[in-house]
């Protein structure tokens, strides 16, 4: 379970950081999951920051679990 939490945290961290970099650099074509969701509209930056915060929370939860 610890490895799963770390893997999910890493994936969220990479996607969130990519979204922040993309949004702040005004690149026309981006990568990541958030570009695929049309309902976010102009809130991609906030969603990317939320993904980074969730990644930190997953890393913290993984560290609190005993090693298996």
pLDDT value of residue 14 = 93
Q: Which residue has the higher pLDDT, 10 or 21?
A: 10
25 Cα distance to chain centroid = 17
Q: How many CB atoms neighbour CB 20 within 10 A? A: 18
pLDDT value of residue 68 = 66
- The residues, ordered by sequence, that sit 6+ positions from 45 with a Cβ below 8 Å of its Cβ are 19, 20, 23, 24
Q: What are φ and ψ of residue 35, in 5° steps?
A: -70, -20
Confidence tier at 65 by pLDDT (50, 70, 90): confident
């Amino acid at each position: 379970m610890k490895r799963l939490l770390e893997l999910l945290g890493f994936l969220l961290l990479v996607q969130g950081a990519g979204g922040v970099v993309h949004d702040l650099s005004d690149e026309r074509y981006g990568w990541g999951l958030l570009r695929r969701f049309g309902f976010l509209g102009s809130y991609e930056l906030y969603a990317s920051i939320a993904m980074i915060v969730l990644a930190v929370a997953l890393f913290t939860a993984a560290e609190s679990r005993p090693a298996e």
